[in-house]
Amino acid sequence: MTERFEQEYEEQERLLDPHRAEEQQRARQEAVDRLADRGIPVRRDDPDEEVGDLLDAVERFEEAVEARGGDLMVNRIGSSEPENPAFVPPERRTGESVRAYRSRVEQATEQLRHGSEI
């Protein structure tokens, strides 16, 4: 979609649902909280949709870890003794865009799915 089309669509949706902005804010906050629980920071300027996509990517990574027998409670960002470093999601770099970070999480997921180590 073009940016103009997206803006028009969003305006139309807000007219149809006056609570849309509140619902979007709650959804973003839930995603931010779930990522924070995993040690993954989100910045205020990170676009809402990309934050949601990042959470989806992190959850796919966790599914790949569990499929390989990993324990999500042990294999966390900041863990001093992970079972396997490949089971720990990559850390978001300072200044890294949410899109670039999501791409690194997706690469780590693919490496786990295909049995190679990070």
pLDDT for 31-64, tens place per residue? 999 999 999 999 999 999 999 999 999 999 999 9
CA distance 26 to 69: 33
Residue 13 has pLDDT above 80, yes or no: no
Q: List strand residue ranges (DSSP E) for the chain, in order.
A: none
Burial of 58 (C-beta count, 10 Å sphere; 0-12/13-18/19+): buried
Q: What's the CA gap between 50 and 111, in Å, rounded?
A: 22
Which range, of 7-11, 19-23, 81-85, 107-111, averages the lowest pLDDT?
7-11
pLDDT beyond 60 at 117: no
The pTM score is: 0.81
What pLDDT, on a 0 to 100 scale, did the predictor assign at position 116?
Answer: 55
Confidence of residue 30 (pLDDT cuts 50, 70, 90): very high
Are 77 and 91 in contact by the 8 Å Cβ rule? The answer is yes
118 pLDDT band (50/70/90 cuts)? very low
